[in-house]
Structure 1
Amino acid sequence: MKNTKAQQPSAGEDEAYLSPSAPVATGKAPGMKARLLSENPGVKNYVVILAKGDEVMSGLTDFARQNKVTSASFTGIGAFSHATVAWFDAHRKEYKLIPIKQQVELVSMIGDIALVNNNPAVHTHVSVASSDGTVRGGHLINAFVFPTLELFMTVYPTPLDKQPDEVTGLELIDPLSK
């Protein structure tokens, strides 16, 4: 897959797109804290708390790398000062960006971590609510925490790999690889 940054809208368009292979910036969650809650036959349960101003995808990617996470699932709640979610456009094989330029409550966050080329890759979807209760959501591109993000993660001992899908261009979990 190609590695591109967000494309700027063309003349007459108000939409921006992002390649699924765009890299996640790291080191942008300095307030993140984590604690191991339990460990049973290789399964670890963590609480991961992100602080005001931390960028979510950066923090989760850093956590996964630092803790050598090869497969995990997680859920979270909290709030964001602003975020960008996306919808996968199968025709373009890119994510259509949906900017959220206001304070929102994170009403649902669910995701997983698996390996792409032996590196942990975070994949998460969110639903967020505006002050009037309107809910928006999609694939999370970035989000900036305000005031907190409370996330519970289960890390599994069996690595999961993502493999390229020729039809979509996405990296998808293949539970039988390795």
Structure 2
Amino acid sequence: MLLKSILMMFCIFYHCMLPESFAKPIMKSSIFKGGETSSLGESPFEGPLYKYEEIVHAQGKFLVTTYYRTPIKLEFPFNGKDISISLNEFSKNSDSLGISKEEKEKVTKTINSEGNGAQSSTMGQNKGKELSIEEKEKIWPDGPPRFDEKKYGIKLRDANGDRTIFYKYSHTPYVVTELNLNP
């Protein structure tokens, strides 16, 4: 009974007391923390998604890992604000965003060395095919899947001091199947 009263008070507070611009991000970040919706109200499902299949040979078997993933986004402070841009935008426009050539190279090398850059570069050059809305609805007829968000930081040092550039992406759970080579 106490829990029900608390929940009702919270709902009333949410709907009546808080300004709309403040209440929605709080609710979305706490309720949908599993990756369905970010604190900004964006769903990875609504944006671009790419299918990945990786084949691994282990214990005499070929295993295929399949998952769906968003493009990499970079987040960093610029002119007193935190901005978020795609890896492709970063590669093209980093000079105008206060990122030196050395910092750009370090970020790119770090992302590539962790196995994410090659995939995101492939996506950026239209070698990977973005899923259409129809394909998403066919794959997930019951609505959006659960997404896991990965976020990593790259520490940079320059004349102005230390700063960190974060990169993040979301992906669906991995599905591993055995590849049968015998017809």
Report TM bin, short chain.
under 0.3
TM-score (norm 2): 0.23
Structure of larger gyration radius: 2
